[in-house]
Amino acid sequence: MKYYSRRLVKHEHLNPAGSLFGGQLLSWIDEEAAIFAGCQMKSRSHVTKLISEINFMTPAKLGDVIEFGLELISTGHTSITVRCEVRNKQTLAPIVSIDKMVFVNVNEAGLPVPHGATANAA
Ligand SMILES: CCCCCCCCCCCCCCCC(=O)SCCNC(=O)CCNC(=O)[C@H](O)C(C)(C)COP(=O)(O)OP(=O)(O)OC[C@H]1O[C@@H](n2cnc3c(N)ncnc32)[C@H](O)[C@@H]1OP(=O)(O)O
């Protein structure tokens, strides 16, 4: 798995318990994974179809730098499936893992269309 980008956990990202809000993290993951999927499929027009079980393993805290790992799992006709792991950049502690995120290439009408990707392009 390759780690692509990093984010700093700031005050505005915290939940009342003082750790990174899960919804904020999922928003970042969806964006990071969608860009990764776009690079794989050479597409600027794709949607998130499915996100599998999300395992929040350890909390991220104020001032932590976290990094996003993404890996191509499989390639279909109109879709690709990727795996995501987020970890603490300094300690390498795993923060969250998602085994399966499916992205579908769509046309102007929002209907699935073949993407033609066959290999890792990110
Ligand atoms: C040059 C490059 C630069 C890149 C730079 C990128 C910049 C740009 C990045 C920004 C990118 C923004 C990314 C926004 C991310 C959202 O925010 S998307 C918003 C949330 N998502 C949605 O609203 C999607 C709503 N769902 C739908 O519209 C429809 O369900 C879909 C996705 C069009 C699929 O329709 P469908 O009738 O289910 O289609 P169907 O033909 O049955 O299946 C299509 C494919 O999905 C698979 N599939 C369907 N259901 C499932 C399932 N339950 N499980 C697994 N696979 C499934 C099928 O197997 C099939 O795959 P293939 O075998 O063809 O590979």
Distance CA 37, CA 81 (A): 8
CA 72 to chain centre: 11
Q: pLDDT tier at 118 (50, 70, 90 boundaries)?
A: confident
Cβ(110) to ligand 1 under 6 A?
A: yes
SS3 for 63-104 is CCEEEEEEEEEEECCCEEEEEEEEEECCCCCEEEEEEEEEEE
Average pLDDT over residues 18-23: 96
Residue 8's CB: how many other CB atoms inside 10 A?
A: 11
Confidence grade of residue 119 (pLDDT, cut at 50, 70, 90):
low
Q: Is the CB of 101 under 6 A from ligand 1?
A: no
| pTM of the model as a whole | 0.94
What percentage of the chain reaches a pLDDT higher than 90?
Answer: 92
**ipTM of the assembly?**
0.96
Is any ligand 1 atom within 6 A of the Cβ of residue 121? Answer: no
